[in-house]
Amino acid sequence: MSLIARYVLKEVAVAAGFVFLALVLLFSFFDLAGEVDSIGRAGYGFAQAVMYVALNVPGHVYEMVPIAALVGALFALSRLVMNSEFTVMLASGVSGWRIATLLALAGMGFALVALLVGELVSPWSEQAAKRLKLRATESVVAQTFRSGLWVKDGHAFINARDVLPDSSLRGLKVYEFDQNRELARIMTAESGTWEGKGKWKLGGVADTHFSRDSIRVTHEENRDWESVLSPDMLSVLLIAPEKMSTPALVGYIRHLRENRQQTTRYEVALWSKLFYPLSIPVIMLLALPFAFHSPRSGGIALKIFLGILAGLAFHLSNRLFSHVGLLNDWPPFFTASAPSLLFLGIALLVLKRLLRR
């Protein structure tokens, strides 16, 4: 790698690092301010609020990677232009496309950071943060219906009145139907604890079997129960699909398909997670056109402001396409890839016109 390449990459990385730090501190402050009303509820004190905010930091890092990378690239290039270093690079034979390649290379580094944080750290920290707050405030996981959580498992429908932060269940009911869609069995349990390997330990079990001639009821203090229901599936209640890990999304989509349920929202989230790291090099290319303007045409502050607007436009376009795609039942692949392809086209078109001059 040439000296100029190392210098440009170092400048972009340092600038983006400072932007990351500033944004993390800013969002953490807002998060802590938002927790003030919850402090004092049950066992939720200031220390728990600080821990909750700290566990949310990886999620903010994952979301802020494109904006921080873009603003960092803008800041670094603006400094090069202000110091006439950019002009010297062009005069020494470094082409604009070469600098664009360096920005894309730096973007791949940031994409790797986003991939690692989004797959390994953020899903775990998001769940840990929600569980911490739920335990401290002595709450239960919010349910989709008033009657609790409902899950389809083959010919059975599973209902849990309460899902606790440790993924244990309370007020469990299982309605099982036969091939003729007639009710064949109802099993109720006061509690359920995850044992691992697809098994639950149920407590206070009442099992009712229906036949044409009789009804048979059995009671057990404890029972092992195998089910497709698992803590990974229950994690859907704690975090949004967009913040779930790729394996968790793939597993949940497979479960929904096996039970003939709608998967579009989760497929869009899956494809968005796959395209998200690849979009970072694309959005960093938007910083390069600002370097070809004269230093007198605007200061660093103006360029950074415009960069923030571009980053927000990219973020909002992702959200917009996601919602519009769901409403119109667009293919998940198109819904997730359209914003990145749109901004790539804009960046390449602008660069092509500038480099022709």
The three state secondary structure string of 159-199 is EEEEECCCCCEEEEEEEEECCCCCEEEEEEEEEEEEEECCE
Q: Looking at the chain, how many residues does it have? A: 357
Q: Are 192 and 200 in contact (CB under 8 A)?
A: yes
| pLDDT value at 134 more than 80 | no
pLDDT, one tens digit per residue, over 256-270 is 887 777 888 888 888
Residue 40 tokens read as 């004092």
| pLDDT value at 297 more than 70 | no
| pLDDT value at 27 more than 80 | yes
The residue that leads in pLDDT, 75 or 289, is: 75
Q: What is the DSSP letter of 117?
A: I
Q: How much is the pLDDT for 346?
A: 83
Site of tokens 């603003």: 71
Most confident option among 82-96, 162-176, 177-191, 312-326: 177-191
Residue 294 φ/ψ, nearest 5 degrees: -65, 145
Residue 190 tokens read as 């006061």
Residue 34 tokens read as 């938002």
Q: How much is the pLDDT for 142?
A: 47
Q: What is the DSSP annotation of 55-80?
A: HHHHHHHHHHHHHHHHHHHHHHHHHH
Residue 260 tokens read as 């003939």
The model's pTM is 0.72
pLDDT, one tens digit per residue, over 142-184 is 455 567 788 887 788 888 888 776 678 889 999 999 888 889 9
Range of weakest confidence among 37-46, 154-163, 187-196, 306-315? 306-315
Q: Are 250 and 270 in contact (CB under 8 A)?
A: yes
Residue 305 tokens read as 């402001």
| pLDDT value at 203 more than 90 | yes
Q: 162: which strand partners?
A: 170
Cα–Cα distance for residue pair 66/322, rounded to 1 Å: 18
| pLDDT value at 188 more than 90 | yes
Instruction: Please give the distance of CA 262 from its chain centroid, rounded to a whole number.
Output: 20
Going by pLDDT thresholds of 50, 70 and 90, the confidence category of residue 295 is low
> With pLDDT > 70 as the criterion, what percentage of the chain qualifies?
91
Find the mean pLDDT for residues 227-232: 78
